[in-house]
């Protein structure tokens, strides 16, 4: 959320920057609402001052035994005017807030021009995509032939875009989450949290999911109580500090959690409907950092490294790109996408987004710190996936598949699983080959 005054002061510069992401800022409407708000505050203050003066006159006249009926009538009218002015102020403030809630973050000038993934700028590639002497299968064919993925039964339970993982598949899902959480907590300095999966409207608004993306959320409620299923752990993790002032010495705060995520994927029908790439329910390890505004970009670079570490541990080929301004998320001013190689598609696909939100979420959620003069100011937030389990599992199966239909897992997962190879029939291969039985 923006400071209206700051946007107005930027003027045409704000219009230019927002136009890069396809948003047409109505500066005149914003200025009008801000002016009406300020005027209502000024008039209300003047009326209160006048009411206070008349009240003093009433007391003074009453002590002198004078007739105070006229003064009381004046006081009554002033009180009514104050109520009307306060109501007008509340209405204008609500209109201004609603407008500000719909204005996306100003994209950084470091974001390239463009409005789709085609305009993303590649920063680097890490690892070499595997070359196969056979036609590689996609993760759906691999998983279903092994019996570790079952989309048919998932559809029977919940409809399309759900999955069931069985046996080694479920164990692999758990192992990936354990690996990521251990990396982030033991090496990267994050504090693990277990958070609610149902949150309030104000919590969703604090990180920018509402009102913009309401159609993409799953909502529920009992009686008059409204709650939303989280689309990412970013929502509860960031809002842990909503309406709080964090001492500068406590920053940066690094938070992580493994949660299910729920998204309706409105408007994406026909895209990635096969397999684990785009589902209504998936699990993800999330990273959030809260920091001083001047440190946000450095914290974003640090978090990107933490997400990349997960991919390196899994021996996965990937690349990092800077998203174009028009393809950057509503709350973000700059986003790096980390894309993993999927052999079945012969291309890189997004597996993590790391975003610098600046003070945008801090202002919306009331997360503050103090500047060098001790004045409360909005804190900055940075967020990234580290990593989504389903997409990572798909990449592991596809990049590490073998000619005989087995999958040779990365060494980093052995201590979580107790085995390294998944046989073609979905059974785990012993870590050490069994010795042949010796003749008696």
Q: What is the DSSP string of 1-46?
A: ---HHHHHHHTHHHHHHHHTTT----HHHHHHHHHHHHHHHHHHHH
Query: Are residues 48 and 85 in contact, defined by beta-carbon separation less than 8 angstroms?
Result: no
Q: Is 194 a catalytic residue?
A: no
CA distance 114 to 121: 10
User: What phi and psi values does residue 272 have, to the nearest 5 degrees?
Assistant: 55, 40
- How many residues in total does the chain contain? 440
Pairing of strands 244-245, 367-370: parallel
Q: Is 153 a catalytic residue?
A: no
Which residue in 264, 313, 350, 421 is the catalytic one?
350
CA distance 306 to 319: 14
Which residue in 353, 355, 385, 406 is the catalytic one?
353
Q: Is 108 a catalytic residue?
A: no
Q: What is the DSSP string of 323-391?
A: PPGGGS-TT-SEEEEEEEEETTTTEEEEEEEEEE-TTHHHHHHTEEEE-TTS-EEEPEEEEEEEEEHHH
Structure tokens at 319: 């690349």
Cα angle for residues 172, 176, 179 (degrees, 5° grid): 135
Q: Is 37 a catalytic residue?
A: no
Q: Is 36 a catalytic residue?
A: no
Please give the helix or strand (H or E) that residue 287 lies within, else none.
strand 281-291
Burial class (CB in 10 A: 0-12, 13-18, 19+), 36: middle
Task: Look up tokens 């909503």; give the residue.
Answer: 242
CA distance 117 to 197: 30
CA distance 328 to 21: 7
Query: Are residues 154 and 164 in contact, defined by beta-carbon separation less than 8 angstroms?
Result: yes
CA distance 230 to 210: 12
Structure tokens at 399: 């990049």
Which residue in 36, 278, 370, 421 is the catalytic one?
278
User: What phi and psi values does residue 325 have, to the nearest 5 degrees?
Assistant: -55, -40
User: What phi and psi values does residue 434 have, to the nearest 5 degrees?
Assistant: -70, 140
Structure tokens at 258: 């493994």
Give me the active site residues, please: 263, 278, 350, 353, 391
């Amino acid at each position: 959320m923006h400071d209206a005054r700051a946007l107005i002061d930027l003027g045409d510069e704000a219009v230019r920057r927002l136009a890069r992401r396809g948003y047409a800022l109505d500066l005149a409407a914003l200025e009008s609402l801000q002016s009406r708000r300020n005027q209502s505050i000024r008039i209300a203050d003047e009326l209160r001052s006048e009411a206070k003066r008349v009240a003093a006159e009433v007391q003074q006249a009453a002590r002198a035994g004078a007739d105070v009926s006229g003064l009381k009538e004046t006081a009554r009218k002033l009180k009514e005017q104050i109520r009307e002015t306060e109501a007008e102020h509340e209405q204008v403030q609500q209109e201004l807030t609603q407008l500000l809630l719909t204005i996306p973050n100003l994209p950084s000038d470091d974001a390239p021009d463009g409005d789709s993934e085609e305009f993303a700028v590649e920063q680097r590639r890490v690892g070499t995509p595997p070359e196969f002497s056979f036609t590689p299968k996609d993760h759906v064919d691999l998983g279903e032939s092994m019996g570790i993925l079952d989309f048919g039964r998932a559809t029977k339970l919940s409809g399309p875009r759900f999955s069931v993982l069985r046996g080694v598949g479920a164990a692999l899902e758990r192992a990936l989450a354990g690996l990521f959480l251990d990396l982030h907590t033991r090496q990267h300095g994050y504090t693990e949290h277990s958070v609610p999966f149902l949150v309030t409207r104000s919590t969703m608004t604090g990180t920018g999911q509402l009102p913009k993306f309401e159609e993409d959320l799953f909502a529920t409620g009992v009686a008059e109580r409204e709650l939303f299923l989280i689309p990412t752990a970013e929502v509860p993790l960031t809002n842990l500090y909503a309406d709080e002032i964090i001492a500068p010495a406590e920053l940066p705060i690094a938070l992580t959690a493994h949660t299910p995520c729920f998204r309706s994927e409105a408007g994406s029908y026909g895209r990635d409907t096969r397999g684990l790439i785009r589902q209504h329910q998936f699990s993800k390890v999330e990273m959030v950092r809260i920091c001083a505004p001047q440190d946000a970009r450095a914290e974003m670079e640090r978090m990107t490294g933490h997400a990349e570490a997960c991919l390196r541990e899994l021996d996965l080929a990937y690349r990092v790109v800077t998203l174009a301004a028009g393809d950057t998320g509503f709350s973000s001013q700059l986003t790096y996408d980390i894309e993993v190689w999927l052999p079945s598609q012969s291309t890189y696909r997004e597996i993590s987004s790391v975003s610098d939100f600046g003070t945008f979420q801090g202002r919306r959620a009331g997360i503050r710190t103090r500047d060098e003069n001790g004045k409360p100011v909005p804190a900055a937030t940075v967020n990234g996936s580290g990593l989504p389990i389903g997409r990572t599992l798909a990449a592991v199966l596809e990049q590490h598949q073998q000619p005989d239909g087995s999958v040779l897992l990365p060494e980093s997962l052995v201590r979580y699983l107790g085995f390294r190879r998944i046989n073609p029939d979905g059974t785990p291969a012993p870590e050490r080959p069994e010795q042949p039985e010796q003749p008696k």
